[in-house]
Chain A
Amino acid sequence: MTKTIISREQWGSRFGYLMAIVGAMVGAGNIWRMPYVTGENGGGAFLIAYFVLLYLIAVPGLMGETSLGRYTRQGLLGTFRKIYGNNKFVGLGLVILIFNVVLMSYYSSIVGWSLYYAYHAVIGSFTQTQFDTAALWQAFSSNTALNVGMHTVAMLIVTGILLMGIKGGIERMAKWMMPILTVSLIAIAIRGVTLPGAMAGLEFAFSPNWEYLARGETWLAALGQALFSTGLGWGIALTYGSYLGRNDDIPLGGGIFTAIGNTSFGLLAIFAVFPIVFAFGISPTSGAELTFVALASAFGSMTGGYGWALLFFMGFFFANLTTAIAITEVGVTTYKEERNTSRSKAVLTMCGIIWLLGIPSAMDSSILGYLDFVVGNWGLPLATFIIMITIGWKFDASRLRTLSLNRGADLYVPKFWESIIRFGIPAIMLFIMVYFLYSNLTTTPWKTVSGLAILTLTIPLCMWIMSRREANAHSVTNVVGQSS
């Protein structure tokens, strides 16, 4: 039997990989969602629930996904082919890839929004006298051409960075974007907590309401934040892990540091956002309204507001950009391997597809909302379910832990990890999907049924496509073999 040595680009440094993977996970959700979700769900009680789930589920899950990528040294489809063989089950990898492409098609619009606000911070719009941030957001939201334009610019930036490769593009950018984001948030947090009335914001976020720990909603909110914020099971950790060296550590860097580092940005956002929100008497909220209306207005009223707005919106843009790069890279790596083409061609093709698919979301925010509803509620939990079942049962969690996860590890991972991968995470993912179905069916029946119908059809369709593709590839190989 001959061994095939696969030449593959690798991360240039440990720091570069760690910044890239944390950058991939830190996105809009950490900054505009986590502070509010924490305050709304019992403050300290929510954080306790969150930490428990983070250490019990997100950390082991990320370890598994990264070590699978490092073992196969291939993208999504290559990994599934290596595990399931040349058959229809490779289609499960295609399902996850499609979720990534759809996710990126509307996430690009969010990158575009943050870029637009970073531009306004640069030109000093927020510090102009009597500047109305609500009117700016309203005008921007209703300007279709501008939204498509920002989506296009965002995709052009992502394309440019990805064209420079793993080491020269993703790693190089993450190595300076993430430290800038950290310093920006720390500076804003220090300024925020020194404002009069700021302590009420910290009280809102941290004051523990212990009765919330007994509420199912608190645990569900913590679960959602722990899983969706860390990007577990979307193929990102698998793809980035595939560029690791054979003896690089995974448990500490790819597991603990990624999950905890990502959440540390959420904590930093609590310190940076809520003191300012409360100091300026703004009603605590989340999402675009908090960032683009409330905070933009607060920065305009602060002494040195130009600098604070610039730091915040540039940091926010970097957080979104590094995530967008990672989501797109999942498709790029896979496309490059499947088509056996150059990286440049793969980047241009994937980014072109995502740009085209993203136009409807950029034109109409209700389409963005619908896609987020379907992908967030069922698509991503399903992707996580597929990856964990694949690791736990098909590949065999015990084999992966013994062979790959503990290889070169800075931290020994015990046998307990296998049960979490085999039973814990898949069961929780099923529960989440069923719960979202139950809770949405009565409130938004059309969206729920149509979303589920699309998802249900996607799985057999992808399996059929891959089964045909694998069969064709097999017959071509046979013909070539016979003729030679």
Chain B
Amino acid sequence: MSIAAIIVMITCIFVLWGVASVALVYSMRQEERKLQLIKKQGSFEPYSPKALRDLDRWIEQNNTSEHVQEMRDVHDEQREALQKCKSYFYIWDQSDVEIMKEI
């Protein structure tokens, strides 16, 4: 086999099997963490800090939309989860959590 073919073959193995295996293992572990949190405290916060910022931004930019109430509902759900839960699924800055709790 030529060197070029070997390089392509090895790259493919990493890009496909490597990514698929890592994704499978990581996804299963994260699911396990979610299940442990549910078992321990009944729920966990559904959105990450970045996703929450998107949610805030969407509400701010579309505050006359017919769907804004649905977004506010999930925002409330997130706030309640942050207030209620002692352990979080995502990594949070304490200041972000405090701001959310105060709203």
State the A residues within 8 Å of B (CB). 14-15, 18, 43-44, 47, 51, 199, 202-203, 206-208, 246-249, 252-253, 256-257, 260-261, 263-264, 267, 396, 398-399, 401-403, 406-410, 412, 415
* Contact mask for chain B residues 27-50; partner A; CB cutoff 8 A; 1 contact, 0 none: 110110010000000001011101
Determine whether the beta carbon of B1 is less than 8 Å from that of A203. yes
Secondary structure at chain A's binding surface: helix, strand, loop or mixed? helix
Determine whether the beta carbon of A412 is less than 8 Å from that of B48. yes
State the B residues within 8 Å of A (CB). 1-2, 4-6, 8-9, 12-13, 15-17, 19-20, 23-24, 26-28, 30-31, 34, 44, 46-48, 50-51, 54-55, 58, 67, 70-71, 74
Contact of B1 among A14, A202, A263, A406 (CB under 8 A): A202
Q: How far is the CB of A469 from chain B (nearest CB, A)?
A: 25
Q: How far is the CB of B84 from chain A (nearest CB, A)?
A: 15
Decide yes or no: A412 and B51 within 8 Å by CB, A260-B19, A267-B17 being known contacts: yes
Decide yes or no: A208 and B5 within 8 Å by CB, A264-B16, A398-B58, A410-B26 being known contacts: yes
Q: Look across to chain A and name the residue whose beta carbon is closest to the beta carbon of B52.
A: A406
Contact of A253 among B9, B12, B27, B58 (CB under 8 A): B27
Contact of B47 among A208, A249, A267, A406 (CB under 8 A): A406
CA distance A248 to B31 in the complex (A): 8
Determine whether the beta carbon of B8 is less than 8 Å from that of A43. yes
CA distance A260 to B17 in the complex (A): 8
Determine whether the beta carbon of A402 is less than 8 Å from that of B27. no
Q: Look across to chain A and name the residue whose beta carbon is closest to the beta carbon of B74.
A: A403
Interface pairs (13), CB distance under 8 Å:
A18-B27, A202-B9, A208-B4, A208-B5, A247-B44, A249-B27, A249-B31, A260-B23, A396-B67, A399-B67, A401-B54, A406-B54, A409-B48
By a CB distance below 8 angstroms, the chain A residues around B12 are: 47, 206, 267
Determine whether the beta carbon of B24 is less than 8 Å from that of A18. yes
Determine whether the beta carbon of B51 is less than 8 Å from that of A406. yes
By a CB distance below 8 angstroms, the chain B residues around A263 are: 16
Q: How far is the CB of A226 from chain B (nearest CB, A)?
A: 13
By a CB distance below 8 angstroms, the chain B residues around A256 are: 19, 23
By a CB distance below 8 angstroms, the chain A residues around B24 are: 18, 257, 261
